[in-house]
Amino acid sequence: MNVKLNRRSFLKMAGIASGTALLAACAAPVAAPGDEPMAEDYIVNHWTWLSASDAEVWGAHIDNFNEAHAGLGIQIERLEVSSNEYKTKVLAAAATGQAPDFGWADAGERADFIADGVMIPVEEHLAEAGLDWSDFTALSVAKGRYPQFNNQLYHMPLDAMTWQLEINLDHVEEVGLDPDSPPTNNDELLEWSKALSVQEGDTVVRSGFLMTGSGLHVAFIWGLVAHQMGFRITNDELTEVCVNPDAAKEAAQWTLDLFDVHKVATRDVSDRYKAFGTGEGSMFLTGPWTLNGYIEQGLNFAVEFTPNIGGELATRLSVGSQEMYIQEDESRYARSAEALTWLSDESFLWTTQGRGAACRQSILDREDYKEHRWEYRQPFVEGMEFATFIPPKLKAAPDFKYYTSPNLVHRIIDPVWQGDKSVDEGVDELCAAWEELLAAE
């Protein structure tokens, strides 16, 4: 051993360093360089789980608020929390009285949080802060109400997102299809998918109709088609699950056939965004948050309405919104409402360059609303007319959704796409599981 370290100085150093580090760490847990807000400013804490290019626009929106309120004694502090642990961390923070003031959510999909008592109704607080509720589109407000909680409104809508069909125009041109008459029904969709697919031997190397091989996206396609075919996850009264299960089975078979019979999709896709962006897929059902990325990347694509595959035209609606969390100091609500009102009044930037359609009639009516990248945004905005496919507002909503992080639906249905389970088995099993969840509500 030729380690030349003076023992005494080493030990002394080690002792002092670790002692002080530990002491400093324990004594002043959150004291840290770089987070010293101006002493007089009232800080509204906002948590968000946005993470893609839309997160940057949202950040700019918050920055605009802070700039507009510089010296006015109120500032918003934005914190990005991973969507994976968002709920746990909000619950944990609320349990210790440190919940953020407001945060991102999909309106109508938070019955569990309300039952936990971490959210408060927002209608009155915001009205008192001067928010003009009559200016909101009826659809967006309706989505934030919960019948089982006195029909109270728990969300302030910011943008309405629909799912529509993005088509790679390079591929369309390559195979000689007419980009001006995109597919509108099942037959046309299949025809286009087949024309756009590329096979090498028996394997599909370019999906005419892009789907992931498992997980949320393929489940979503199935769910949407099932909905169009007349399947309902629950009835309107939320008393019964799986209305018309045969439609769900028919839709599952339709989805499987895309993989195996028509061979217009490969299962070997897990990152759907990358796959469409790199030309591994030609038609992609997705939402408006993808636009910025693809446009900036220079992808040659168009957006068309979701085709009517199942007989009853419908697509998924998701309303991006803010929810307010419970505070020990109730006086905080008024200041948060003040901030939220501004964020809604000034949401032009967010609903043109961010994502989704405005939920304020006054913004939708503005002349310049249809300027920024309108040819891409138009189908997402106008498609709201038939965006009727929404998850039920149950406490167990996370397990009743298709388009979400891994959940019960994916666990039960994924084996169907992999061929390990029959369509009937999968749907029946899922319905039984949902039945149980509904009984436990």
Q: Is 116 exposed, middle or buried (0-12, 13-18, 19+ CB in 10 A)?
A: middle
Comparing CB distances to another protein, the nearer of 216 and 233 is: 216
Decide: is 362 part of the binding site for another protein (CB under 8 A): no
Positions of E strands within 190-316: 198-200, 203-209, 232-234, 241-243, 281-286, 301-304
For another protein, the binding residues in 5-34 under the rule CB under 8 A are: 5, 7, 11, 14-15, 17-18, 21-22, 24-26, 29-30, 32-34
Decide: is 432 part of the binding site for another protein (CB under 8 A): no
Decide: is 440 part of the binding site for another protein (CB under 8 A): no
Rounded to a whole number of angstroms, the minimum distance from the CB of residue 7 to another protein is: 5
Comparing CB distances to another protein, the nearer of 348 and 417 is: 417
For another protein, the binding residues in 117-136 under the rule CB under 8 A are: 117-118
- Binding string, residues 208-247; x marks residues near another protein by CB under 8 A: ----xxxxx-------------------------------
- Binding string, residues 384-413; x marks residues near another protein by CB under 8 A: --------------x----xxxxx--xx--
For another protein, the binding residues in 291-330 under the rule CB under 8 A are: 293-294, 297-298
Rounded to a whole number of angstroms, the minimum distance from the CB of residue 95 to another protein is: 5
For another protein, the binding residues in 365-384 under the rule CB under 8 A are: none
Q: Indicate the helix (H) or strand (E) that contains 46.
A: strand 42-48
Decide: is 202 part of the binding site for another protein (CB under 8 A): no
- What is the distance of C-alpha 281 from the center of its chain? 22
How far is Cα 215 from Cα 401, in angstroms, rounded to an integer? 12
For another protein, the binding residues in 52-111 under the rule CB under 8 A are: 52-54, 79-85, 87-89, 91-98
Please say whether the dihedral angle defined by the alpha carbons of residues 357, 362, 365 and 370, taken in this order, is positive or negative.
negative
Q: Is 30 exposed, middle or buried (0-12, 13-18, 19+ CB in 10 A)?
A: exposed
Decide: is 441 part of the binding site for another protein (CB under 8 A): no
Nearest alpha-carbon partner for 165 in 272, 34, 41, 305: 305
Rounded to a whole number of angstroms, the minimum distance from the CB of residue 325 to another protein is: 11
Comparing CB distances to another protein, the nearer of 88 and 244 is: 88
How far is Cα 292 from Cα 376, in angstroms, rounded to an integer? 10
Comparing CB distances to another protein, the nearer of 126 and 357 is: 357
Hey, what's the torsion of the CAs at 260, 407, 292, 140, to 10 degrees? 120
3-state SS, residue 90: helix
Residue 306 is classified by DSSP as P
181, 311, 418, 436: which one binds another protein (CB under 8 A): 418
